[in-house]
């Protein structure tokens, strides 16, 4: 297979019959992208593994909660094969894959329930593991506006989790995201979104930072321009940037840059972080449901209720544009054993190592006339 065909595989959409008996709420890939977990209102979680031919197979399925399961997430593989789930039944649960010996004296892998976190009095809307450099920590947010931070004191014994912090947001919470930055001067940070339908009051996105001196989390920023209900948000991986980038899914797609406080070791004595909206897109023409980043933090992917998945990228001037689109196939599959494969409408470009499968210009607009290109910008998207 040549390089061009190999890269074309990135933009192939493969339909998988999840076999869930109710609405599918969340899909989560592991660190390597070789395993996938799905959760549903049928109260179950399914684990999928990909084979050498790129086909996904369900390898485990079990009931996890007594109500709809909203979110499922993987821990870093450094801590083993560990999952966390949260549910409308007001609990979050920890699951670990272990090897056991069956009645035939053969070994098999099973998912074992380690512990249920039952502190919440309302529906737990989101659950996320902290970046690995912060240890095995877990954050949850509930519909009554309480964020809880848990930590496993012994990573070899996941039956014991201690509640480290409890943060009152005073407004219904719908989603959260840890800042993955590993810069030694960047304090641990969490962004929280609210789905409160009321339009009164302030913004719907809050930024919290951890203070080593007080050993507590404090709210350092409210993004006042976000007044619509927030469905999802996600920090971009920080590879050398001095600022943070946050994508927010709401009625539209918003991208913000967050400049850390001037005193990088303590926000109590320095100026608080500041934010700037660098992009606002209405291309979905409906509610944006999910956002995610690539590993480099250069491309943000959004999905909406319109069934479309869009890819967004900033050029060397920091101007964000839509660079790709994947459209949902509404036709029923003729054979689920051999699901149809559809490609995006991205026009492939010659292999130059930089701009494979990206449109250079907006669809429907004639390209500008040829002009000399400064060699130092030869590898840049513009």
Domains of the chain, earliest start first? 27-329 (2.130.10.10)
Q: Which residue has the higher pLDDT, 134 or 9?
A: 134
Using the structure block, give the residue that is written with the tokens 């930024």: 207
Sign of the C-alpha dihedral computed for residues 201, 304, 34 and 19 taken in this order: positive
Using the structure block, give the residue that is written with the tokens 């972080």: 273
Helices (H) and strands (E) in the chain, counts: 1, 26
C-alpha–C-alpha distance, residues 80 and 76, integer Å: 7
Question: CA 245, 249, 253: angle at the middle one, nearest 5?
Answer: 75
Copy the structure tokens of residue 8: 């074309």
What pLDDT shows up at residue 9?
47
Which residues, 6 or more positions from 329, have their beta carbon under 8 angstroms from its beta carbon?
13, 15, 340, 342
Cα-based distances in Å from 355 to 254, 316, 380: 24, 13, 8
Lowest mean pLDDT among 1-5, 203-207, 283-287: 1-5
Copy the structure tokens of residue 214: 């007080």
What pLDDT shows up at residue 123?
97
114 touches 104 (CB < 8 A): no
> What is the chain's mean pLDDT, rounded?
84
- Interval 70-79: pLDDT, tens: 999 999 999 9
C-beta atoms surrounding 296 within 10 Å: 9
Q: How would you classify the pairing of strands 82-87 and 288-293?
A: unpaired
pLDDT higher than threshold 70 for residue 372? no
69 touches 30 (CB < 8 A): no
Burial readout 222-244 (b: 16 or more C-beta within 10 A, e: otherwise):
ebebbbbbbbbbbbbbbeeeebb
C-alpha–C-alpha distance, residues 249 and 288, integer Å: 5
Cα-based distances in Å from 151 to 97, 139, 158, 161: 19, 9, 10, 5
Q: How confident is the model at residue 21 (pLDDT cuts 50, 70, 90)?
A: very high
Q: What is the CA radius of gyration of the chain?
A: 22
C-alpha–C-alpha distance, residues 189 and 172, integer Å: 19
Using the structure block, give the residue that is written with the tokens 């499968």: 357
Phi/psi of residue 134, each to 5°? -95, 0
Mean pLDDT of 106-115: 92
What pLDDT shows up at residue 343?
46
User: Any idea what DSSP says for residue 370?
Assistant: P
- Interval 225-282: pLDDT, tens: 999 999 999 999 988 888 999 999 999 999 999 998 765 544 455 678 899 999 999 9
This prediction has a pTM of: 0.81
């Amino acid at each position: 297979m040549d390089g061009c065909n190999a890269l074309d595989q990135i933009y192939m959409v493969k339909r998988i019959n999840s076999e869930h008996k109710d609405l599918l709420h969340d899909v989560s890939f592991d660190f390597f992208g070789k395993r996938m977990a799905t959760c549903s209102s049928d109260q179950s979680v399914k684990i999928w593994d990909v084979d050498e031919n790129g086909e996904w197979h369900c390898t485990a399925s079990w009931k996890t909660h007594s109500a709809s399961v909203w979110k499922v997430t993987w821990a870093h593989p450094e801590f083993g094969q560990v999952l966390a789930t949260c549910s409308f039944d007001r609990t979050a649960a920890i699951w670990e894959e272990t090897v056991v010996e069956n009645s035939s004296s053969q070994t098999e892998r099973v998912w074992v329930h380690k512990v249920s976190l039952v502190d919440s009095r309302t529906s737990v809307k989101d659950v996320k593991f902290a970046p690995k450099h912060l240890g095995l920590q877990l954050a949850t947010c509930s519909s009554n506006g309480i964020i809880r931070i848990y930590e496993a004191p012994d990573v070899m014994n996941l039956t014991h989790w201690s509640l480290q912090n409890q943060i009152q947001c005073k407004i219904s919470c719908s989603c959260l995201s840890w800042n993955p930055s590993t810069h030694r001067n960047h304090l641990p940070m969490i962004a929280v979104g609210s789905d409160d339908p009321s339009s009164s009051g302030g913004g719907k996105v809050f930024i919290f930072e951890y203070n080593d001196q007080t050993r507590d989390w404090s709210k350092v920023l409210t993004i006042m321009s976000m007044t619509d209900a927030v469905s999802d948000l996600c920090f971009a991986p920080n590879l050398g940037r001095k600022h943070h980038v946050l994508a927010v899914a709401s009625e539209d797609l918003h991208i913000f840059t967050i400049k850390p406080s001037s005193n990088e070791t303590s926000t109590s004595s320095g100026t608080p972080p500041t934010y700037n909206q660098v992009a606002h897109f209405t291309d979905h023409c409906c509610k944006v449901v999910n956002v995610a980043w690539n590993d480099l933090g250069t491309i943000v992917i959004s999905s909406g209720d319109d069934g479309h998945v869009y890819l967004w990228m900033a050029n060397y001037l920091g101007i964000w544009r839509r660079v790709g689109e994947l459209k949902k196939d509404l036709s029923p599959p003729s054979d689920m054993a051999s699901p149809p494969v559809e490609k995006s409408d991205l026009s492939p470009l010659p292999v130059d190592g930089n701009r494979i499968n990206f449109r250079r210009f907006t669809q429907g607009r004639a390209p500008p006339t040829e002009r000399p290109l400064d060699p130092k910008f030869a590898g840049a998207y513009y």
